[in-house]
Amino acid sequence: MYQPYEYRRQELVEPDWHRLPGWRDVTPREWADPQWQRAHCVKNVRQLRAVYGDLLDEDFYADIERDQAERATMSILLPPQMINTMVPDAVPTSKALWADPVRRYMLPVYSERDPVWPSHPYASRDSLHEAEMWAVEGLTHRYPTKVLAELLPTCPQYCGHCTRMDLVGNSTPLIDKHRFQLKPVDRLDAMVDYLRVSPGVRDVVVSGGDVANLPWPRLEAFVDRLLELDSIRDIRLASKALMGLPQHWLSSEVRAGMARLAGTARRRGVMLAIHTHVNAAQQVTPLVAEATAAMFEAGVRDVRNQGVLLRGVNTTAPELLDLCFRLLDGAAIMPYYFYLCDMIPNAEHWRLSVAEAQQLQHAIMGYLPGFATPRIVCDVPYVGKRWVHQLAEYDRERGVSYWTKNYRTGIEAGDGEALTRSYEYYDPIYTLPASGQEWWAEHGGAAPGERPMAGVRPS
Ligand code: SF4
């Protein structure tokens, strides 16, 4: 019987790194060593050339260099493990790399950015206004019962579409990153002090950046302090490195430390989980499955995936379902959320409209077990996550959706209208009908090829 999606169980395969000229002589022992992986990260085009040698055309390198100079909000940082998942089953060519889903989001090129509207007029740094909602530096209190603790501003890998591009990573020619002001030890102390006097908060997302970049003893000490607070019932550690650098999570130091934390959590009735961030099916490899299994063995209660919908990467039903099944069947990672890419600068070519996201949610229903069917969500500025079908109104012509909420964020204690106001989210302009695109061209202040800035809101 014909079905729009054909499920086939896929065996995981670790791509052979020896196919890449720069790593022909790398031994399995070196590959498995997290220090070797970190020391051989690719940070620029020169180092990329050293990996790929003569396999790639000059045009490809020039496309990356131009992007870094004129459009990139994140600098390049790719562990070998991550690079090895690009064009995983062949010797790469420029053509194959240009078309590769992992390359599309981890190694952006200029030619893929939208030429007319690279940014939406309402795109902004810190588009979710997290810093505005810091209860203390780095601790975002947006939802009533949960907080986000940004422990550090670095990761073992940098994603081109990073929502925290304002703070995370190295500055690029376009974006001068903000810096934390407090010393790390004072910042973490302030977070714990705040939680100590906030018994209504039961859930802490321990994030960054990526917790894999915090020396293990410091991460363990912080989580131990959270575990001492009776009010904290859920702790989730955020690490894309579970996929990008699984060698870190497989190290004996981390496994032993996680076993200690999970033991304490279990005794105190706290649910300790890991949240990772995988966007393409080919990134789920045997090493990722091994690292996840090691975390389960250590006593972590669950490992969940929070991906980002990115055009050209995972925004067709087969791409998304392949990814979810690979996570679930291959690595026992729970597909949990897929977010619409946030309205950061120069992200328009990746973003979907809310209507496209609604269609995608419809298309993936019924194939996965209900408990593993991811929710597709829009992170609405000043609101938070909403399922994409929850919007209150939708102007399809101008691509403006209106959302409401049922709680106050940390900055709205005295705001009488917080729960009756509607909050906007904007679709990428190139997805709009011609009349809507014309409206934005007239009102959005854009000249073709320039980053538009608007002072108007559609009314
Ligand atoms: S791992 Fe997360 S925080 Fe780090 S660059 Fe990627 S999206 Fe940003």
Residue 458 — pLDDT band, cuts 50, 70, 90? very low
Q: What is the pLDDT of residue 382?
A: 93
Give Cα separations from 8 to 94, 351, 444 (angstroms). 29, 28, 46
Residues in the chain: 459
Domain boundaries, the chain: 17-112, 131-373
Task: Pull the structure tokens for residue 181.
Answer: 């002001």
For residues 8 and 318, the answer to whether their CB atoms sit within 8 Å is no
pLDDT at 364 over 70: yes
Rounded to the nearest angstrom, the gap between the alpha carbon of residue 359 and the centroid of all alpha carbons in its chain is: 22
Q: What is the mean pLDDT of residues 389-394?
A: 98
Largest Cα span, the chain: 65
Q: What is the pLDDT of residues 59-70, one digit of tens each?
A: 999 999 999 999
pLDDT at res. 410: 83
Average pLDDT (195-220) is: 97
131-373 under CATH 2.120.10.30, yes or no: no
Q: Residue 450 above 90 pLDDT?
A: no
Q: Which two tokens stand for residue 186?
A: 């004072």
pLDDT of residue 414: 86
- Which run of H or of E encompasses 275? strand 271-276
CA distances from 63 to 71, 104, 110, 111 (A): 11, 12, 5, 7
The Cα 305–Cα 325 span in angstroms is 12
Q: Looking at residue 26, what is its pLDDT?
A: 98
405-445: per-residue pLDDT in tens? 999 988 888 888 999 999 999 999 999 999 999 999 999 86
pLDDT (average), residues 108-132: 95
Q: Which atom of ligand 1 is nearest to the CA of 208?
A: 3
Mean pLDDT score across all residues of the chain: 95
- Residue nearest ligand 1's atom 8 by CA: 162
Residue 331, both tokens = 């690595």
Read out DSSP for 376-438? EEEEETTTEEEEGGG-SEEETTTTEEEE--SS--TT-TT-TTTTTS-EEEE--GGGS-HHHHH
Q: How many CA atoms lie within 13 A of 323 on its CB side?
A: 30
User: Does the C-beta of 220 come closer than 6 Å to ligand 1?
Assistant: no
Which of 240, 310, 344 to mutate to test ligand 1, by most ligand atoms within 8 A of the CB atom? 240
Q: Is the pLDDT of residue 291 over 50?
A: yes
The 10 Å Cβ neighbour count of residue 453 is 12
Residue nearest to atom 5 of ligand 1 (CA): 158
Percent of the chain with pLDDT over 90: 94
List pLDDT tens digits, range 4-23.
999 999 999 999 999 999 99
pLDDT confidence of residue 445: 61
